[in-house]
Structure 1
Amino acid sequence: MELNKIFLGDCLEILKQIPSNSIDAVITDPPYASGGRSLSEKTLPPSKKYEQSDNKIVHRPDFFGDTKDSRSWLHWCVMWISECQRILKDSGYFLMFTDWRQLPTATDAIQMADLIWRGVIAWDKGLGSRAPHKGYFRHQCEYIIWGTKGQCKKAIHSGPYPGCLKFPVLQKDKFHLTGKPTALIEELIKIVPEENIILDPFIGSGTTAVAAKKHNRNFIGIEKSEIYYKIAMERLK
C-alpha cells in the first residue's frame, strides 16, 4: 500500500488491501451516529443534527454513515476496527474519537475487535460549547478511546502524554462538518516517532494527513465522500 496517499472509497474494502502488521498507529474520527433522541431525529442529515442554528457562518457538506442505530453502529465498528487490529503492528496504538452518547458502545467495540482498551482521553472544546438551557451542563468534552494491540511498550521518543487536551474549534481551521482542530491531531500523532505510519480510515477533510506531513510522520488515509476527498487533496497541496 502506497504511503502518504489518501484513497477514495469505502474503508471496509480498502482496509483489506493493507498488509497485516504494517501500521504503527490508527488515529481516526468515524461517524458517531449519535445526534438525536428519536429514530426520526437520528436519520436526519448530519448538517441538521450538528450545525448550530445560531451559527450558520459556513455550511459544510454532509457525510456518510451517521444514521445507524446503536446496535448496527456497534456491529459496523467491530468490522472496521477488526481490520485495523489485523493491520496494526504488535503494541500499535488505536485512537478513536467519540461523544458521550456513544462512549460506552465505543469502548465495547474496540474490545470486541480484540484490542486492549487502555483508557479515555478528554478533549475539552471550551466554554463555547452549547447547552440546551441554563440548568444544563455544557457538552464541553468529546472523547478519544485509546487502546493497543497487545502490550503498551515504554516509549523512548516521547511521553507520558496528557490525558486531557484543550483545543478550541476555530472556524478558519474547520474544513469538515465535524472536523477536529489541526493542533489537536498534531498533539495526538506524537504517540509515534517520526517516519512511523499512521492510518486514518475516516480522514474527512485530511486533517490527520496534514498533521502527519507537517511533523514528518507517514500516513495512509481513506475517505468515502468525494467532496471531502477533494477538500483533503487541496489541503495537502
Structure 2
Amino acid sequence: MKIKRFAIGNIVLFQGDALAVLEKLQTNSLGAVITDPPYASSGSSSLTKAQPPSQKYQGLDVINKHPEFQGESRDQRSFAYWSSLWVSQCYRVVKTGSPICVFSDWRQLGVTTDYLQSGGFTFNGIVPWDKTESVRPAKGKFRAQAEYIAWGFKGKCYGDRHPVYLKGALRERVNPKEKLHMTGKPVAVMDHLVKVVPPGETILDPFMGSGSTGVAAIKSGHPFIGIEASEEYFEIAKKRLRAAYRDSLRENAQ
C-alpha cells in the first residue's frame, strides 16, 4: 500500500498501513499514544469474524451509514500477535515516560492488557467508559454499556513533570448525529484522555479513524500524528482536522 502524507501546521496525517508508517517514524521522538484500534471482536467463529464491520456494529435501522474499516477479521491469536507488533513500534517511537491509552471492548480486554505489556509498556490500569443507558438494551441480558481504556507508560510516568489528577472512570453518551465512524468515540472522552499528556508533547494515533483523537489534541494545543489505512476515513479525518486546526488558530488570535 502506497503511503500518502498530509500536513498542516503541527498536524501530520498518513494514509497507509500502520506498521509500515510506524517503521518510518523516529525513535524516542513522540510523547504519547492514544488510539482506538480494531477490536476484531463480536464472535469467535470464522463466520462471525468474516462479517464486515457494518454487520457487527450497526443495526439495520441505522440511518447514517459509515464506510467499512479494516482489521476486524483476525482470530484471537493473530490479533494478539499483530497488536504486539504495532505496540512494539509505538514503544520504540515514544520517549521514556510517555503514556499509552488503548480502547477495548469486554471481549478483547484481557488480550489488550497482555499485548500492551508484550510490546514493552508498563500496564497501570483500566479506565471504564460508561456509554450511558442510551445503549440499546438486550432482552434478558445486561446492556453492553461499557468499553474500556487500558493505559500505562513507557517506563516510569512523567509524574512531577505533569502533576495532573484525572478521572478513573468516564461517563459520556455516544451521539449518533456526531459520529463520522461506525465505532467513533466522542470527542469529550478523548478530551479527558489527552490531559494525561504534558504540554507540547506530540500525540500519536496509529488508528486515527475519523480523527477524534486529533480533534482533542488540537483543542489542547498538542502536535498530532495520525495514521489511517482506509482512504475514505483518511479523507474524512483530513477534512475534519484541517477545520479544527483553523478554528484553533482563530481562537488563539482573538
State the TM-score bracket (shorter-chain normalisation): over 0.9
Asked if 1:173 is matched to 2:178, the reply is yes
* Equivalent-residue separation in structure 2 for 1:136 and 1:117 (angstroms): 31
Give the gaps of 5 or more residues in structure 2.
Answer: 244-254
1:113 maps to which residue?
Answer: 119
Does residue 20 in structure 1 map to residue 19 in structure 2? no
- 2:145 maps to 140
Q: Per the alignment, in what secondary structure is the counterpart of residue 22 of structure 1?
A: coil
Question: One-letter code of the match for 1:71?
Answer: R
**Distance in 2 separating the partners of 1:34 and 1:217:** 31
1:193 aligned residue: 198
How many residues are matched?
235
Residue aligning to 2:87: 81
**What secondary structure is seen at the aligned counterpart in 1 of 2:31?**
strand
Distance 1:224 1:163 in 2: 31
Q: 1:48 deviation in Å?
A: 0.4
Distance 1:6 1:129 in 2: 32
Q: 4+ runs of 1 displaced by more than 4 Å?
A: 155-158
Letter in 2 for 1:109: Y
In the superposition, relative to structure 1, how do residues 37 and 79 fare at CA in structure 2: closer, same or farther (>3 Å)? closer
Name the counterpart of 1:71: 77
Determine the C-alpha separation between the residues in 2 that align with 1:153 and 1:193.
8
SS of the equivalent of 1:229 reads helix
**Matches for 1:1-237 after TM superposition, within 5 Å:** 3-54=10-61, 56-133=62-139, 135-236=140-241, 237=243
Listed one character per residue, the Cα deviations across residues 175-227 of structure 1 (whole Å, up to 9, x for unaligned) are: 10100001111111111133211000000101111111122111000000000
Please list every run of 5 or more consecutive structure 1 residues that lacks an aligned counterpart in the other structure: none
Contact 1:158 1:191 (C-alpha < 8 Å) held by counterparts:
no
Classify the secondary structure of the residue corresponding to 2:97: strand
Distance in 2 separating the partners of 1:37 and 1:130: 22
Counterpart AA for 1:117:
F
Q: Structure 1 residues 13, 174: closer, same or farther in 2, change over 3 A?
A: same
Q: 1:11·1:222 contact (CA, 8 Å) conserved in 2? A: yes
Question: Root-mean-square deviation (CA), in Å?
Answer: 1.5
2: CA distance between counterparts of 1:148 and 1:209?
Answer: 20
Question: Secondary structure of the residue that 2:47 maps to in structure 1?
Answer: helix
Residues 48-99 of structure 1: per-residue CA shift (max 9 Å, x gap): 0110234x12111110111101100000000000000011110100110000
- Partners of 1:168 and 1:94 in 2: how far apart? 23
Q: Tell me how far apart the structure 2 counterparts of residues 188 and 77 of structure 1 sit (CA, whole Å).
A: 21
For the 8 Å contact 2:103–2:148, the answer to whether it is kept is: yes
When residues 153 and 212 of structure 1 are mapped into structure 2, their CA distance, relative to the original with a 3 A threshold, is closer
* Deviation of the 1:130 alpha carbon: 2.8
- Fraction of identical pairs, as percent: 45
